[in-house]
Amino acid sequence: MGAGPEGAASSGQAPVVLAARLIEQPIEEELKESYLTYAMSVIVSRALPDVRDGLKPSQRRILVAMQDLGLTPTAATSKCAGIVGETMKRYHPHGDQAIYPTLVRMGQEWNTRYPLVDKQGNFGSIAGLPAAAMRYTEARLSAIAALMLEDLDKDTVDFVPTYDEKAQEPVVLPSKFPNLLANGSQGIAVGM
């Protein structure tokens, strides 16, 4: 047990002494415990879909950004680069390298039974060929995605602040479509 000074006050007064509780623990145990806690947090918050709407946060944020852009099933398609930029700007600041492949996958009918994105252009192939660059592809919401977003503005789900606290984003979508049952989900979760 010990206590030490935490720095002197700028007004020339004596330093404030705070008591600290020290716990001796082997570093191997602390690292294992801390890493497991962090890994579980990441898995639960990012890698696993929410059973209520069947979406991971990145997928949900893309669909909400598309709705914000007015990309309804009856609207004209819009460049995927713009969708990715809007998603990154408002909701998901993890870079376009994570967002665009997620957007593409939601439009590939060979990867999802009921696509959530209505695609235009080269979104890859069932043989594994990659999608064209986002500046060449376009998309809009599918009718099913619009159904999942319906009534979002009617206080039907909880909202939380976005990463920069400038706006709000839904915790889940109202989802009048059983997405997890119909489309399933896949992902990777490492840490256990």
Of 16 and 79, the structure prediction assigns the larger pLDDT to 79
Q: What is the pLDDT of residue 1?
A: 43
Average of per-residue pLDDT across 142-171: 95
Distance CA 42, CA 115 (A): 26
1 in a structural domain? no
Domain count, the chain: 1
Residue 89 has pLDDT above 90, yes or no: yes
Residue 40 has pLDDT above 50, yes or no: yes
137 in a structural domain? yes
153 in a structural domain? yes
Distance CA 175, CA 36 (A): 32
Of 67 and 93, the structure prediction assigns the larger pLDDT to 67
Please say whether the beta carbons of 68 and 90 come within 8 A: yes
Single out the catalytic residue among 35, 114, 136, 163: 136
| 136 included as an active-site residue | yes
39 in a structural domain? no
94 in a structural domain? yes
Please say whether the beta carbons of 77 and 134 come within 8 A: no
35 in a structural domain? no
Average of per-residue pLDDT across 106-126: 97
Q: What is the pLDDT of residue 3?
A: 47
User: pLDDT (tens digit, 9 = 90+) per residue, 121-135?
Assistant: 999 999 999 999 999
Distance CA 111, CA 3 (A): 58
Structural domain including 95 reads: 61-177
Q: What is the pLDDT of residue 11?
A: 54
Average of per-residue pLDDT across 88-116: 93
Residue 37 has pLDDT above 90, yes or no: no
Q: How many CB atoms lie within 10 A of CB 85?
A: 15
Please say whether the beta carbons of 125 and 104 come within 8 A: no
16 in a structural domain? no
49 in a structural domain? no
Of the candidates 171, 183, 41, 44, which has an alpha carbon nearest to the alpha carbon of residue 110?
A: 183
CATH number of the domain that residue 140 is part of:
3.90.199.10
